[in-house]
Structure 1
Amino acid sequence: MLDIPALGPTGPYRTRNRTTVPDAAGIPALELTSVPGLVVSHWIDQLRGSAPLPVTETAAVLAKAADVFEGHEILGDDLPAHERRVSELTGTPLAVVRECDGLITATLRDVGRMPFAARPTGCAPVGTAVPDTPSAGAVWRRAGDVLAVQAAGNSPGVHAMWPEALALGYRVVVRPSNRDPLTPLRLVTALREAGIPATQLVMAPCDHATADLLVERADRAVVYGGQDVVDRYRDRADVRTQGPGRSKLVVTADADRRAGLGLARAGALHHAGTACTATTGVLVEEDPAGFAAELAAALSTVAPARQVDDGALLPCMPEDTARRLVTAVLDRATDATVHLAPRVERLGGAGDEGSLATVTPAVVELASPRDPLLSYELPFPCVWVAPFRRAAVDVLDGSLVLSLHTGDPGLVAEASELTSVSNVYRGRPTSWTHPDVPHDGFLGEFLMRAKGLALADEKRSVT
């Protein structure tokens, strides 16, 4: 098994307390160090006392880190070997892992793009020295010094976000998911080899109690998790939660139905259905039952495959986990119409060698758009279809991404006013992304603040 250390301010750090991490078939694959709370607290003190790299230098360092991430061997793996190992460990299709790693390196090479877009137009650019600012105006400055990241393991792509904090002068402590410690290990190692000092960036695998300590000791924290995590930190201005996406697609009567089916299928299968931007609910204005049947037919052609196969579209997991997911859907769908029932497909292994399986897509028709199941997320392609009326746009609230397949610009405008919707797209799947479009807002909004600045002429008296 691989031995995965923490990465502290003085280098790799190992403890006697370790967590055994199984692969997607349930077979033990690696031993992960678990850092105790006192050590993590000391590391944060060291990060806080370390001066950040000048902003003008950071962009070049992060771009170099992209080259290291792609071209160097880390843990003895080149990038293709690393991606295969991550796929085997997590059950994420290999094509998805490759796509996410491409997103990470693209972000490293263009890390200034998001901060530039997020910065208020009245503020001087990040890194502008005080003598070079206007005599009266505003500067954009950090709201703290240390950012803690409690990462998710559903997708390597979550690690494309936090390097932006380094570009803004934050020191960062990453708590990896037990499911995927390999992606952050490779990224943190690459950043350090490129020139980010170890006293500014650490990786701290730890238990849940220590993870809570990370949030309390850091100045800002980004925390991934379920609804329980969102509820716990709901009133914390210093914590940004990345919870369930509950992303939805609306297909109105005036829109091309075949194109709408294409959007629904693409959104449902995005990142094997595990991403927060994958389509969970579809609301249909005309004949939702017929749409559900057509979507079921379109998704029924998805073939089960091992995660390392190039054509794999579904997540892989231990067989008992797959059976629990199927039960979770069918137990909740007793008062609904199941157009495509999920099933467990075994892909190999048994007994002591583990048992690899996948869950095929599900399509369930609900009688009401107010049924809570419309927002019930599962870590595989599972779509809930419900009727839609334009007079009840409020049912769309609470969605990370809302995609509208419609010819009605008024509906798009009304939906964009919903306060609990982060992204609104028209004619695109919920999974669509673009470098200039923020994911759940700009990270810079959370990490930075505008400060007023007025510089009096030294020759004048100040009253």
Structure 2
Amino acid sequence: MLDIPALGPTGPYRTRNRTTVPDASGSPALALASVPGLVVSHWIEQLRAHPPLPVTQTAAVLGKAAAVFESEEIAGDGLDAHERRVAALTGTPLPVVRACDALITDTLRDVGRAPSSARPTGCAPVGTTPFEAPSAGAAWCRTGDVFAVHAAGNSPGVHAMWLEALALGYRIVVRPSHRDPLTSFRLVTALRTAGVPPTQLVVAPCDHATADLIVERSDRALVYGGQDVVDKYRNRADVRLQGPGRSKLVVAADADRDTGLDIARTGALDHAGTACTATTGVLVERDPSGFAAELAAALGEVAAAHPLDDAAVLPCMPRSAAQQLTSAVLGRAGDAIVHLAPRAVPLGGEGSLTAVTPAVVELASARDPLLSYEMPFPCVWVAPFERAATDVLDGSLVLSLLTGDRELVAAATGLTGVSNVYVGRPTSWTHPDVPHDGFLGAFLMRAKGLAHGGPLTGRVGARGSSAIEE
């Protein structure tokens, strides 16, 4: 088995306790270090004691890291071998892994060069001092020093999310998912090779108790997880949650039917159906039953394939896990109409590697909780849509609307529990200028008032606060 160490402030750290990580067939694949809490606490103290990478060096270093990630061997693997290993380990289709790694390197090249879109127009850039600012104004400053990342294993692309924090001067603690520790290991090694000091970022595989400790000892945290994790941290202002997306598509009566089917199919298959932006619910205003049947026919054509196959689009996992997922959907469906039943399809060879095929289930009402029941494979719940009940769309990471009705779009955009609203695009659509779930920089930074000049006197303002006048 491949031995994956932790990456501490002084280099690779191999622990006596290791976690055996199985591949997508259930066979042992990796021996992963497990860092104890006392060691992680010491690492965080070391990160906090060291200054951040100078802003003037960030773009060059991160750009070099992208080249290292793409071109150099790390842990004995070039990029192609690494991507094949990740696909075999996680069951994520190889084309998805490749796309995610491209996202990581694109982000490395962009995030250090371009100012963050989250920076208010009234704020000077990061690192500005009072003497560099206008006589009175503001600078964009960190709200802390150490940023913790509890990474998910459903997609390597999650590691593109935290790179902005590094560019903004945070020191980073990455707690990788046991499902995929390889992507974080390659990325952090590439960053260190490019010139980021080890005292700026560490990789700390650990158990759940130590993971909680990392959140407590850090200033800000990005945490991925299911509804149980959301419930645990929902009241924490210092934790940014990435939970279930429950992304939805609305196909209004004025929409082109074929376009709606294409957008629904594309969104359902996003990242093999495992991404939070994958379409979970589809609400159809005209003939939802017919739409569900047509979508089932389209998704039913998707073939199961080995994750290393260039044509693979479905997730793979051990047979027992696949059977549990299909049983869960069919069990919850109850009296709903199952237009396309999910199947656990064995792929042969060593182990019990199994693909899970798509599911399409028609619900009688958009208020059925199953409309937001997210599964880690392409599973779509179709329900009727009524324009007077736009509240059923709330609580969606991405809401896609296929309509020309501006009033409907305005009403949907006004829903406070919706993060992204797209018109005529799949829920899986992305763009560098469009935030995934709000801008990360808005969570990490704040405006800090700055002023300098000649003799100043204070006065009491109308609200009883101290004001400045020259």
TM-score by length of 1: 0.98
Residue aligning to 1:92: 92
Deviation above 6 Å: which 4+ runs of structure 1? Answer: none
Distance 2:383 2:270 in 1: 20
Q: Deviations over 1:137-164 (max 9, x none)?
A: 1110000000000000000000001111
Letter in 2 for 1:368: S
Residue aligning to 1:261: 261
* Structure 2 contact 254–403 (Cα < 8 Å) conserved: yes
Residue aligning to 1:107: 107
RMSD of aligned alpha carbons? 0.9
Distance 1:89 1:190 in 2: 21
Q: 2:400 aligns with which of 395, 400, 403?
A: 403
* Structure 1 contact 114–444 (Cα < 8 Å) conserved: no
Distance 2:171 2:141 in 1: 14
Q: 2:379 aligns with which of 378, 382, 385?
A: 382
Residue aligning to 1:421: 418
Distance 1:4 1:129 in 2: 42
Number of aligned pairs? 458
The structural deviation recorded for 1:114 is 7.1
Residue aligning to 2:359: 362
Q: 1:461 to 1:274 in 2, by over 3 A?
A: closer
The structural deviation recorded for 1:348 is 1.2
Residue aligning to 2:345: 345
Letter in 2 for 1:127: G
The structural deviation recorded for 1:334 is 1.3
SS of residue in 2 equivalent to 1:206 = coil
Superposed counterparts of 1:82-231, under 5 Å: 82-112=82-112, 115-231=115-231
The structural deviation recorded for 1:113 is 6.8
Distance 2:337 2:31 in 1: 44
* Structure 1 contact 263–429 (Cα < 8 Å) conserved: yes
Distance 1:410 1:279 in 2: 23
Q: Once the two structures are aligned, what percentage of the paired residues are identical?
A: 78
Residue aligning to 1:437: 434
SS of residue in 2 equivalent to 1:342 = coil
Letter in 2 for 1:404: L
Distance 2:332 2:314 in 1: 22
SS of residue in 1 equivalent to 2:140 = strand
Distance 1:146 1:344 in 2: 43
Distance 2:329 2:24 in 1: 21
The structural deviation recorded for 1:344 is 1.1
Letter in 2 for 1:135: S
Residue aligning to 1:19: 19
Letter in 1 for 2:382: V
The structural deviation recorded for 1:127 is 2.5
Superposed counterparts of 1:330-341, under 5 Å: 330-341=330-341
Distance 1:230 1:94 in 2: 30
Q: Deviations over 1:236-294 (max 9, x none)?
A: 11000000000000000001010000000000001100000000000000100000000
SS of residue in 1 equivalent to 2:128 = coil
The structural deviation recorded for 1:116 is 2.6
Q: 1:416 to 1:112 in 2, by over 3 A?
A: farther
Q: Deviations over 1:375-415 (max 9, x none)?
A: 00111000000000010000000000000001101111111
Distance 1:436 1:24 in 2: 34
Residue 43 of structure 2 is aligned to residue 43 of structure 1:
yes
SS of residue in 1 equivalent to 2:111 = coil
Distance 1:32 1:145 in 2: 28
Distance 1:122 1:398 in 2: 31
Letter in 2 for 1:453: L
SS of residue in 2 equivalent to 1:134 = coil
* Structure 2 contact 36–206 (Cα < 8 Å) conserved: yes
Distance 2:406 2:57 in 1: 45
Residue aligning to 1:70: 70
Distance 2:112 2:353 in 1: 41
The structural deviation recorded for 1:203 is 0.2
Distance 1:9 1:130 in 2: 33
Distance 1:334 1:299 in 2: 21
SS of residue in 1 equivalent to 2:117 = helix
Structure 1 residue ranges without an equivalent (≥5) = none
Distance 2:143 2:261 in 1: 44
Distance 1:154 1:267 in 2: 16
* Structure 2 contact 130–451 (Cα < 8 Å) conserved: no
* Structure 1 contact 220–239 (Cα < 8 Å) conserved: yes
* Structure 1 contact 399–421 (Cα < 8 Å) conserved: yes
* Structure 1 contact 280–375 (Cα < 8 Å) conserved: yes
Superposed counterparts of 1:227-266, under 5 Å: 227-266=227-266
SS of residue in 1 equivalent to 2:42 = helix
Residue 306 of structure 2 is aligned to residue 309 of structure 1:
no
* Structure 1 contact 35–206 (Cα < 8 Å) conserved: yes
Distance 1:113 1:225 in 2: 31
Superposed counterparts of 1:262-301, under 5 Å: 262-301=262-301
TM-score by length of 2: 0.96
SS of residue in 2 equivalent to 1:320 = helix
Q: 1:153 to 1:114 in 2, by over 3 A?
A: farther
The structural deviation recorded for 1:461 is 5.1
The structural deviation recorded for 1:462 is 3.6
SS of residue in 2 equivalent to 1:348 = coil
Distance 1:72 1:51 in 2: 28
Q: 1:453 aligns with which of 419, 433, 450?
A: 450
Distance 1:126 1:61 in 2: 17
* Structure 1 contact 23–90 (Cα < 8 Å) conserved: yes
* Structure 1 contact 113–436 (Cα < 8 Å) conserved: no
Q: Deviations over 1:337-365 (max 9, x none)?
A: 0000011110014xxx4210011100000
* Structure 2 contact 122–138 (Cα < 8 Å) conserved: yes
